Structure 1
Amino acid sequence: MNFLSVNLRGVQDSQKVDWIRGIKTSYGVHFLAIQETKLGATTSFMFNGFWGRSAYQLECVHAVGRSGGIASLWNPSMFHCDNVIKDRYFLVLSGVLNHLGVRINLVNIYAPNDALARRNLWVKLLDMKNSLQGLWVFMGDFNEVRDESERFNSEFIATNAEVFNQFILAAGLTEFNMGGGKFTYISDRGDKLSKLDRFLVCLGFMERWPKASVLALNRDASDHRPILMSTVPSDFGHTPFRCFNSWMEMPGSWI
């Protein structure tokens, strides 16, 4: 199953819609997590453009004013959702992977800028994980880094990173190494870089799909790079074989 997560800073832009639909098509995405939709309860918007013509299902958390907003779209032939939990800063879809019969909880997160509010969010997420059965995938914009190396030209606050790491440890979560780049957020001027977006998975997920991969894709219509997690190992076909004409001149080469 392929998961795509991206902070779009608003979805009502045809360039962003076309960009994400192109990624979704190119990488065969089955689950799309969008943060910062900026869509309120009274805003009329169709998500079809992101997904294309194939069938999909959708759940949203409305923005408060022009701040926040979360949307999750998925292929119902791959994932059957039977429980939804909504909060201002996260959206949980709990259900079953159809082809495997495995229960899984998919959490789309858009963490707040305020450090105290983030700490309260980590407590909520930990309580929720301890209350539901199944595998876990936490994805989205966590608005926090794990260590100083995940920031460049921006302030690193060790105590905030420590609390974030304590949450990850207490929840029994881990993450795959990310390819494609070290940072996911790039400021508008391009001078500040941070790894704010990530996938965190439970140990059971890691054990079932040890060869899963995470890739940071090129930034186009947002200040965040989309990140892709795939549980399907990349297959580049048969190993190439090169034959030199000189080999045919060697004694016994035709035997």
Structure 2
Amino acid sequence: MKQLVVAVICLSMFSTSLFAQKKGKQLVWEENFTAATLNDEDWNFELGDGCPNICGWGNNERQVYTQENHELKDGQLIITAKKEGDLYTSTRITTQGKQEFQYGYIEIKAKLPTGQGIWPAFWMLGSNITEKGWPWSGEIDILEYVGKEPHMVYTSLHTQDSHGETINSKKTAFENIEEGYHTFAIDWDAERIIFFVDEQPVYTFAPENKTEAVWPFDQPFYILVNMAIGGNFGGPEVDDTIFPQQYSIDYIKVYQY
């Protein structure tokens, strides 16, 4: 009983500390999706299948992105993946060139879609990607979920040092992650990036040797939200009986000192 009490106290202290840490920063940007349409001063649509530059969006993904596969309803962004004939469709949005952030506590609250072949994500790319290219720009995958692996959440980083491969990564089991809404976040500063699921730390990246190839995370990054279908990670098999599937986002918030 004594050990249980100590464990509860420690957990309570940690939760309080994390809450204070997040709230100790200032809320500098938030998207609550309460308008009738996405604010084009904050958001861009990325459309099509990635061709001719990166067909399949670099991952052999099957979907074509459109502006029609989303809606704002009851303070939510709802992205709907569909299968219509031989065509898979979805939506992908970014804040590139409009809302970019260097460091902070960056959080999404979302309800995940499910099923074989589905691949929702909340992630960030370095703002220098147009000059440096990927993976020199760096990539922060705050949330990735693939329907072929139920109850698992992926949190990952891509760098030139890893040649873009997912070696700086962790997948964590959450038995009820498909039920209801959950939060996915990073706490990012000049020394490390800590990933959180429901305010529980799941992975920390803090390399000692912060060369450009190892640590491209000392520059502004922009936000991406999308739901892919199939591809190298989400597929290759896709269960066509699961469609339509909805990825629902309640909010995105950025806190900084």
Instruction: Tell me the TM-score normalized by structure 1.
Output: 0.28
In our comparison, the structure showing a higher alpha carbon Rg is 1
Structure with the largest fraction of helix: 1
Instruction: Tell me the TM-score normalized by structure 2.
Output: 0.28
Structure with the largest fraction of strand: 2
Bigger relative contact order, structure 1 or 2, given CA contacts below 8 A and separation 6+?
A: 2
